[in-house]
Amino acid sequence: MTSSIFVLGAGMVGTCTALHLQQRGFDVVLVDRREPGQETSFGNAGLIQQEAVEPYAFPREPGFLLNVALGRGAEVHWHARGLWQMAGSLLRYLRHSHPKRHALATKAYSRLIAHATHEHDLLMAAAGAQDLVAREGFRFVFRTPEAFDEAAQRASALQDRFGVRYQAENTTQLAQAEPALQRSMAGAVHWLDPWAVNNPGALVQRYADLFVARGGRVLTGDAASLQPQGAGWSVQTTEGRVDAEQAVLALGPWADGLIRTLGYRFPLFIKRGYHQHYTSPAQVRQPLLDAERGYVLAPMQRGLRLTTGAEFAPIDAPPTPVQLAKAEALARELVDLGQPLPEPPWLGARPCTADMLPVMGPAPRYKGLWFNFGHAHQGFTLGPVAGRLLAEMVHGQPTWVDPTPYLPARFV
């Protein structure tokens, strides 16, 4: 089987890349070992975060770092083997999180975020997926007045600089807006521009269905079988070998393992995360981040989804859902969770880079090979934006944003 290009990875980024390449006239095959949207894109909090204009920096507060080191709190969990394996990348992450470097990363990162909802809107309309999304924002809720006041000041600064809209809600206003809360909170920052998807995996599947309806092919295959083939590339699928002039790696947290076989050593690392659904009768109206405790409650079709913060562990390490247990206890202070659904906790991984910017563009040293991974916490948000930018580069047309900050060559 032949095509002009195949995309490895059918998460949000890979599926949107395939769609945008298809729109530009390419014959595209989308390859994954599972159905579209069943890995990292499946298990997130379902947020399209138009307010997330700053990438997550390495924390620098001594008290927070001490709590992490001692295993306190629900925000971060770590495996010693994971920290050892990631040590070099994490040290570079720490250096890039210096305020001056972080400001440069934010300048490049915010350009992508600014277009996130617009690009999703175009695909949602074409895919008939509007029933999956609510466009009413996302709340950061705070337990202490000090944290609330600091967050409101930061939100005001971000609004002035980037135009992201918010409302600061005091205790009374928050209680009226979100009656599911069963304890008094100091207040909330209600970000007005984010969208909430009630079934993230289903949204990726709708985009994949659109790709197929327009003539694309989705095949089951293993990215590890990627090989140079003549003047192009090949990959093995259950329907035989696929040959193409060009290939895109959109493998999220699995990209590092494959690019190492091609001779690359990029400063990549992963942050694992968990979720669990609950039969909550509380009817939470909008997603909530318990900002001082580090977990999210998000209404989903399957129930109320509790998602955890970051776990630094090897991608193949056995699950250790200690964060989920801590977050559940904290969440029960806020809302009536009900009972967990009778299913194992979900575990996934976020693909991160030391400089906090995604890797998008041509692979150095290999003709016809393209990278589109490393979107960290925002792959679900940035999928359509990333897909469009990569497709424009492959097509050789002017790009909607300067791709220089995101090019893979920066790590070579």
Quick one: which H or E segment has residue 167? Answer: strand 166-170
% of the chain with per-residue pLDDT over 70 = 100
Query: What is the per-residue pLDDT for 70?
Result: 75
Query: What is the per-residue pLDDT for 67?
Result: 77
Q: What is the pLDDT confidence band of residue 63, given thresholds at 50, 70 and 90? A: confident
Q: What is the pLDDT of residues 340-365, one digit of tens each?
A: 999 999 999 999 999 999 999 999 99
Query: What is the per-residue pLDDT for 69?
Result: 77
**Rounded distance between C-alpha atoms, residue 294 and residue 347, angstroms:** 17
31 or 229, greater pLDDT: 31
As given in the structure block, the two tokens for residue 25 are 């006239």
As given in the structure block, the two tokens for residue 384 are 């359509």
Q: What is the pLDDT of residues 137-191, one digit of tens each?
A: 999 999 999 999 999 999 999 999 999 999 999 999 999 999 999 999 999 999 9
Q: What is the pLDDT of residues 194-205, one digit of tens each?
A: 999 999 999 999
Query: What is the per-residue pLDDT for 2?
Result: 67
Confidence check: pLDDT of 254 > 80: yes
**Rounded distance between C-alpha atoms, residue 355 and residue 405, angstroms:** 10
Task: Report the chain's C-alpha Rg in angstroms.
Answer: 21
Quick one: which H or E segment has residue 328? Answer: helix 322-334
Residue of 172, 165, 169 whose CA lies nearest to 191: 165
Confidence (pTM): 0.97
Residue type, position 358, single letter:
P
**Rounded distance between C-alpha atoms, residue 332 and residue 280, angstroms:** 10
CATH fold of 1-57+97-131+199-267+354-412 reads: FAD/NAD(P)-binding domain (3.50.50)
Query: How many whole angstroms from its chain centre is CA 40?
Result: 8
